[in-house]
Every structure is written in C-alpha cells, then in structure tokens.
Amino acid sequence: MFEDTASALFGVEGLQVTGVQAAPDGGIEVWVVTDCQAAAACPDCGTVSGRVHETVVTRPRDVRRAGAAVDLRWVKLRRKCANGECPRKTFTEWVPDLPPRCRITARLREQAAHEVAGRGIPPAEAARHAGISWPVAHGAFAAAADPVLGQPASPVAHLGIDEHRRGRARFAVDERTGDYAVLADRWHTCFSGLDGQQGLLGQVEGRTADDAAYRLAGATPAWRDAVRVVCIDLCSIYASAVRRMLPHATLTVDLFHVVQLAVKTVGDVRRRVVRARYGRRGRCGDPEYGIKGLLARNLENLSSGQFTKILDTLDRDRYGQEIAAAWIGKEKLRDALNLRARVTGSVPCERQVRDRLFSFYDWRAQHDDIPELVTLAKTVSRWEDQIAAAVITGLTNATSESLNRLAKLEARLAYGFRNPRNQRRRVRIACTRGSRRRSRTATSTETRTVTGRKPDPG
C-alpha cells in the first residue's frame, strides 16, 4: 500500500519517496525514507523501538527508470533497542525488498537473473547494464537457475546421448620426441529427450562409459524403466553405458552418422586413387576433382546431367572404377537406410532391412580389394542391430545435435568458460529456455493501490 503517487510509481514496498532530482551524470537521484511499521521492530527480540541512535544514508542499487540510472538515497534510522534484556543494542531499519546488509534491491537481482536465464544475455553484460559486479549478477542468476534445473526430469521414452566438446583442445610439443601431446581436451556428455519437449535433460563431465553410466545411475529406477529407445552416435563407449544401465532399452544409432561415414569412405578412396594415379594430391582440373561434390550427394538428388558426368568420369579406367565401386557401396548402404518410414511412408520389417544390408555386404565381398570399403562394411556389420533398429523406429539424434549447436553458441557468447559447473548451468538454461516458455502459465496480476494523493504544491 502506497501513500502517494511518487512512491507508488517508485514501487518498493515500505519506502516513501521524498524527493527526486536530476543527477549530474544524467541519471535521476531518488530520495526515500522508511515507511514501514515493522522496520521499527528489533530483528532479534521484536520490540518496537522509538529511540533513535543516528540517521544514516545508504545508496542501494536499483533498476533503471525509463532507461536512466537511478541513484537511490535511502535516509534510514539506526534505532536503539528498547528492550534492556536484548543482546542487540542498535539496529537499522530494513524492508523486505532490501533486507539487512543487502546492497541491491530484490527487483534488480530478479532483473539480472532474468536477463541471463530468460533472454540469454551473458552475466557480464547484465551486470554492466545494472551497474553491479559480475559475481553479484552471476550469483543472482545461479540462485534463480539452480532450483529450476534441480527439478527432476519427467520420464522420456526416447533418450538421446551425445558428446559435446567443452572448449578447444590444448596441445604442447613433447621436447624429446617433437610430437604433439594433448594437454587438455575436455568433454561433456549430454542427455536429451528426443521428443524435444524438455530440452537438455542433463550433462555430466567427461565422455567415458563410466561418466555416462554415472549420470544414468543417478536417475530413479522408474525413470530408467520408462526409457524404451536410446539413440547414440556410432560410439561404443555410450553403447556399453546403455547396456549396463538400461539393459531393457533398444539401442539405435543416428543414421546421419552412418551416411557420413559412407561419404567419408568414398572420399578416402578417391583421394588414395588420385594419389596413385597422378603421384600427388588432387587439384582443380582433375576429372575426379570435378565430381567430388557430386559423389557426396544422394543419388536421388542428382540431375541426369550430373549422373552422366559421374559415369563418364569414372568409366574411363580402373582408377575411376575403384571410386565407382565405393560410390555404389555407399548408395547400397543408403538403400537400406532409405527403408525408414519417413522416406517410404510405411514402417519396414526387419527382414527387409537386413536383406538390403546383405546386398551391401555382397557388394563389398565382390570388391574386397578396396580396404576403405572393407572397413566400412566391418563397422556397419558391428552396428547392424542398432542400424536396423534405427531404420525401423525412424528415430534420429537430431534433437541432441541441435542442442549441441545451442551449447556452442552459449560458449561463444561467454567467450569460453573456465568453470565447468558454470558452463553446465548456462548451457542447460539455454537449452531448456524453449520448454520453459511453453510451460509458462499466466503472469502475475498483482496490482498496486494508491490510497491518497499528495496535496498540490501550490
């Protein structure tokens, strides 16, 4: 309840505005006094005291008003406790928005926290705008973020696990051998629900099987039981963690990474063959160099002219035919992956997928003189069950990859992180912002009442 319009506009409960003037630096100077019954009560014994010890002026930080910095001057009393038994001799007045020893208003703290958590502004920038220090802005953000992030995640049926590099790896030259040695290469393992409803579920430092298993072990048994499918990259470490902690779940691999591997195989064969043929690396003007982009494309996306260009280039000699064999191998593998419902419109049966994979193995058997194709087939056969499961379920790790992009963006905005805990907090807040927005209910409808008007100054 505010007694006058100026105090209502200022809007800190328990403070009454007594004067406003322009500050020399372009801001505004606001003078206030305490207007709160409870402020006269001793915080220890609760006795209301009328005995004044001294008058002090404090300058707590407050939010900007219409863009201008506010220089708040609070004239408050230090009172003597009226209770002779009380160990506290004197106390200063305080109001709920500015508790004892607090030098910034609750709304400024809230604003700094919201700028970081809700709008993605780095704490350093939020602090600069609010006229406070980085630790204060960051502390406000952490205090607001931790309870939100501490809430247990809802169960997910489809879980994605992916790794995320914390920062650039650092190397040093070994003086004895002259080789590069890794000084630091730090990773996070990220967990996300593939329905995309909850954003990033959590992270853990490191990327070993134990690290991932540790995070899964922290979840409740009911949460673990709810996971039906887990999607990972072609990463045996996470596969082992999933088998250990979620033995009932179906493991699938992200098909993008399978195709990426096949495209890389074609590129490896092309580079080896070009070096064998010309005795140097490929360069602009070589026929093989002219089709390197086309070889990476999906067959169905090539125009007839582009298709003919590939055939004409590769049909000329045995070198070209070796590249062609790898390219056809890639397309045979993609044939199996293209059985997924998103492409065909109907869910395939396992037999169909395995038949097409067999056709790929058969092709590799006919070309066992191409080592890269042999390696690819070996990898595919090792992951055959997971690839078949991915084609049948149609699940991809795209959600995890998109969250990785957000995590990278956050690291850039922060110019890198030194503290992994801060990084996890900031990344998780950034990667759950969308889901928080969706779940937000109606905003507060609290109103401020003006009970009286200031008499006209004239």
Of 20 and 86, CB closest to Zn ion: 86
Of 80 and 264, CB closest to Zn ion: 80
Distance CA 140, CA 63 (A): 14
Distance CA 194, CA 156 (A): 8
Helix (H, G, I), strand (E, B) or coil at 24: coil
Least distance between Zn ion and beta carbon 4 (Å): 31
Determine if residue 214 is left, alpha or beta; phi over 0 gives left, psi from -120 to 50 gives alpha, anything else beta.
Answer: alpha
Name the segment binding Zn ion (CB under 5 A); options: 40-48, 205-213, 268-276, 371-379: 40-48
Candidate list 6, 38, 86, 302; residue touching Zn ion; CB under 5 A: 86
Least distance between Zn ion and beta carbon 101 (Å): 17
β-strand pairing of 70-80 with 250-253: unpaired
Least distance between Zn ion and beta carbon 44 (Å): 4
The verdict on 355 binding Zn ion (CB under 5 A) reads: no
Q: Which of 290, 260, 264 is nearest to 397 (CA)?
A: 260
Least distance between Zn ion and beta carbon 203 (Å): 48
Of 44 and 110, CB closest to Zn ion: 44
The verdict on 51 binding Zn ion (CB under 5 A) reads: no
The verdict on 45 binding Zn ion (CB under 5 A) reads: yes
Of 88 and 448, CB closest to Zn ion: 88
Name the segment binding Zn ion (CB under 5 A); options: 37-45, 271-279, 398-406, 413-421: 37-45
Candidate list 15, 42, 113, 324; residue touching Zn ion; CB under 5 A: 42
CB atoms within 10 A of CB 335: 14
Distance CA 211, CA 217 (A): 10
Q: Which of 375, 382, 367 is nearest to 268 (CA)?
A: 375
Beta bridge partners, 77, equal 55
Distance CA 439, CA 433 (A): 10
> What are phi and psi for residue 29, nearest 5 degrees?
-105, 125
Of 44 and 368, CB closest to Zn ion: 44
Residue pair 148/435 in contact by the 8 Å Cβ criterion: no
C-alpha dihedral sign at 197, 203, 209, 211: negative
Helix (H, G, I), strand (E, B) or coil at 325: helix
Of 44 and 312, CB closest to Zn ion: 44
Of 44 and 185, CB closest to Zn ion: 44
Of 40 and 324, CB closest to Zn ion: 40
Least distance between Zn ion and beta carbon 108 (Å): 30
Q: Which residues ranging from 420 to 439 are in contact with Zn ion (CB under 5 A)?
A: none
- Applying CB under 5 A, the site for Zn ion has a residue count of 7
Least distance between Zn ion and beta carbon 405 (Å): 57
Binding mask 257-296 for Zn ion (x = CB under 5 A): ----------------------------------------
Of 77 and 130, CB closest to Zn ion: 77
Least distance between Zn ion and beta carbon 39 (Å): 14
Least distance between Zn ion and beta carbon 75 (Å): 22
First-to-last CA distance in the chain?
Answer: 26
Q: Which residues ranging from 381 to 400 are in contact with Zn ion (CB under 5 A)?
A: none
Helix (H, G, I), strand (E, B) or coil at 348: coil
> What are phi and psi for residue 291, nearest 5 degrees?
-110, 10
Q: Which of 90, 73, 74 is nearest to 29 (CA)?
A: 73
C-alpha dihedral sign at 310, 315, 320, 323: positive
Least distance between Zn ion and beta carbon 87 (Å): 8
Least distance between Zn ion and beta carbon 98 (Å): 20
Of 6 and 86, CB closest to Zn ion: 86
Least distance between Zn ion and beta carbon 241 (Å): 58
- H-helix or E-strand spanning residue 172: strand 170-173
Q: Which residues ranging from 55 to 84 are in contact with Zn ion (CB under 5 A)?
A: 81, 83
Binning the chain into helix, strand and coil, the percentages to the nearest 5 are 50, 20, 35
Cβ contacts of 78 within 8 Å, gap of 6 or more: 52, 53, 54, 55, 56, 90, 91, 92
Binding site for Zn ion (CB under 5 A): 42, 44-45, 81, 83, 86, 88
